[in-house]
Structure 1
Amino acid sequence: MAPSNFGYSLREAGSHFARNLGTSIGAVITIFLSLFIIGLFILGSAVVNSMIGSVEDQVKINAFISDDATDEQIQAFYDKLTSWENVKSVQFKTKEDALADYTSNISNNADMTLGALDGENPLPRSFVIEMYEPSQVEETAERIKADTDFRQIVDDDNPDVDDVEADVNAGVLYGQEEVSVLFQMTAYIRVAVVVLVGLLTFISFIFINNTIRLSITARRREIAIMRLVGASNSFIRGPFLTEGVLQALLGSLLTIGALELCRNFGMPMIQSVVSFLTINIPLRMYLFTYAALVLIGIVIGLFGSAIAMRRYLKV
């Protein structure tokens, strides 16, 4: 569409929109509903990823330390741990800290449990290790087990066991089976979300394209008359493409407004239901989603109008 034709196309698009208000509103609503569902799925996938990340962040390694280990040995292994690439933080938990955590988890029977211990604390000291990439928990745990410094301080509940590997395994705890299942499930969920968003976008494109095609088909006589009087294809196409973009913009703005309502009122409700998980979606994610929806709407409006008109502009 030539620049000189832009003003004419804009005026004609507005005129067509007003004259065919019912059809135009139908197209806008179709675009709105389609983009709104796409936006919900995109933001829903962000919520799912945030919840998955919250669960994954809870995956930590507990490396238990023998009561016979010296402070120098413990410090040496601590310094080594903090230098590892995937280790985000290392917390040293004393026997008192371990007992306090244990009793807090069994608050209903805490007095009975403490009485049964008769003043003794059988719980070992430990390192609580948090990782940058929780999915690499197995590799990090295996590295800890194989470390010579850790072998010297590992807590050994059965000193008669000669198998060093068994002793080391007893000193590292991270729920291997549960963690493996967790990361397998989260990987499947992420793939499923991406596939659903892509499929929904494709279906929406077909749906919106058909709506725009019906709108243009209803004015095929107008297109034929313009061709008979010698109007060029670009001159004829301009107002229809502009009208398609106008409908897409209106549908996109309605979508952004509806998603903002969901963000301000729906997200707090979801967070209150799953308060044990952290849902943190940054503002830039919302802005990126809104910009993507506007772009998708404009592309669908342009291509839908262009494809629908192609059959009427053949020589």
Structure 2
Amino acid sequence: MAPSNLGYSIREAGSHFGRNLTTSIGAVITIFLSLFIIGLFVVASSMVNSIIGGVEQQVTISAYIDDGASDADVAAFKKEIESWPNVKEVKFLSKDDALEKYKKTSASKADATISALDGENPLPRSYTIEMEDASQVEGTAKKLRDNATFQKIVDGGSVNESVSYGREEVARLFQVTSYIRIAAVVLVALLTFVAFIFMNNTIRLSITARRREIAIMRLVGASNGFIRGPFIMEGILQAIMGSTLAIISLELVRNLLMPKIQAGMPFFEMDVALIIYLATYGSLVLLGVVIGLFGSAIAMSRYLKV
């Protein structure tokens, strides 16, 4: 579209929009619903990723230490673990700390169990190891089991039994989260494709209704670019209006619905950063404009063939 035709195309696009108000509103609503569903699913995917990330951060390794190990060896090995790659933090639990933790996690039966112990504390000292990347837990656990220093201070002399991280549960967790992330990408791509089909068909119907107008313009010698300009601008106008409605609706969801969801499920980490919303809004506008451009160009191609 030549720059000299830009003003004409914009004026004609506005005129077409007003003259065919019902069809134009239908196109805007189609674009709005398509982009809103895509945006809603992107935000939901970000929430799921946030929840998954929170669950993954709870994956830790517990390494139990023999009561006979010296405090110096225990402290030295803690510093060694902290220097390993992928280790975020190492916490040391004394026997008293372990007993207090047991009381908190097993409140219903802790008193009876402690009374039966007659003042003795059979719980071992331990390290609790948090990782930067929880998916690498298997490698960190293997490195711990193979470490010669740990083998000297290990509880009960059994390396395998003294390293605990719920191997089967962790493997199942990462398998499920992997499936969820793949499904999210596939569904967003599918929704985008469906949105393109819907919007292209809507634009095609709008242009088909004006095929006589296009035919007359061709008969009087108008170039393809001159004919195409107003329809492309109208597609862009519809896309901007639809994407704006989608953004407003998503903002209402963010400010009105999301706080209620988070308040109802405080045990889940589902915060979605503002930058994610802003990136989503920008992507929706860009996606709408691109689909409007291509939809108009493809829909008009049959009427501009020589």
TM-score band w.r.t. shorter chain = over 0.9
Displacement of 1:275: 2.0
2:89 corresponds in structure 1 to 89
Q: What letter corresponds to residue 115 of structure 2 in structure 1?
A: G
Displacement of 1:266: 2.0
Which of 194, 209, 226 lines up with 2:200 in the alignment?
209
Q: Distance in 2 between matches of 1:147 and 1:281?
A: 40
- Is the counterpart of residue 175 in structure 1 residue 166 in structure 2? yes
1:47 corresponds in structure 2 to 47
Q: Secondary structure at the match of 1:280?
A: coil
- Deviations for 1:72-112, whole angstroms, at most 9, x for unmatched residues? 11122111111111000111111111111101112223322
Percent identical among aligned pairs is 64
1:268 corresponds in structure 2 to 259
TM-score (norm 1): 0.95
Q: Secondary structure at the match of 2:129?
A: strand
Q: Secondary structure at the match of 1:34?
A: helix
Deviates more, 1:297-306 or 1:114-123: 114-123
- Deviations for 1:179-223, whole angstroms, at most 9, x for unmatched residues? 011101111111111111111111110111000000010011111
- Deviations for 1:124-158, whole angstroms, at most 9, x for unmatched residues? 111100001100101100100000111111111xx
Which aligned pairs between 1:13-162 and structure 2 lie closer than 5 A? 13-156=13-156
Q: Distance in 1 between matches of 2:259 and 2:95?
A: 39
Which of 184, 190, 197 lines up with 2:188 in the alignment?
197
Q: Secondary structure at the match of 1:250?
A: helix
Q: Distance in 2 between matches of 1:262 and 1:276?
A: 21
- Is the counterpart of residue 242 in structure 1 residue 211 in structure 2? no
1:164 corresponds in structure 2 to none
2:271 corresponds in structure 1 to 280
Displacement of 1:224: 0.8
Q: Distance in 1 between matches of 2:71 and 2:154?
A: 13
Q: What letter corresponds to residue 81 of structure 1 in structure 2?
A: I
Number of residue pairs matched by the alignment: 306
Which consecutive aligned stretches of 4+ in structure 1 deviate over 6 angstroms post-superposition?
Answer: none
Q: What letter corresponds to residue 63 of structure 1 in structure 2?
A: A
Q: What letter corresponds to residue 270 of structure 1 in structure 2?
A: I
Q: What letter corresponds to residue 232 of structure 1 in structure 2?
A: S
Q: Which runs of 5+ in 1 are unaligned?
A: 160-166
- Deviations for 1:216-244, whole angstroms, at most 9, x for unmatched residues? 10011111111111111111111100000
Q: What letter corresponds to residue 23 of structure 1 in structure 2?
A: T
Q: Distance in 2 between matches of 1:265 and 1:64?
A: 47
Q: Secondary structure at the match of 1:279?
A: coil
Q: What letter corresponds to residue 177 of structure 1 in structure 2?
A: E
Q: Secondary structure at the match of 1:122?
A: coil
- Is the counterpart of residue 304 in structure 1 residue 299 in structure 2? no
TM-score (norm 2): 0.98
Which of 177, 187, 202 lines up with 2:178 in the alignment?
187
1:163 corresponds in structure 2 to none
Q: What letter corresponds to residue 170 of structure 2 in structure 1?
A: V
- Aligned-residue Cα RMSD (Å) equals 1.0
Deviates more, 1:261-270 or 1:73-82: 261-270
Q: Secondary structure at the match of 1:80?
A: helix
Displacement of 1:270: 2.4
Displacement of 1:4: 1.1
Which of 258, 280, 283 lines up with 2:249 in the alignment?
258
Q: Distance in 2 between matches of 1:72 and 1:84?
A: 19
Q: Which runs of 5+ in 2 are unaligned?
A: none
Displacement of 1:268: 1.9
Q: Distance in 2 between matches of 1:73 and 1:111?
A: 33
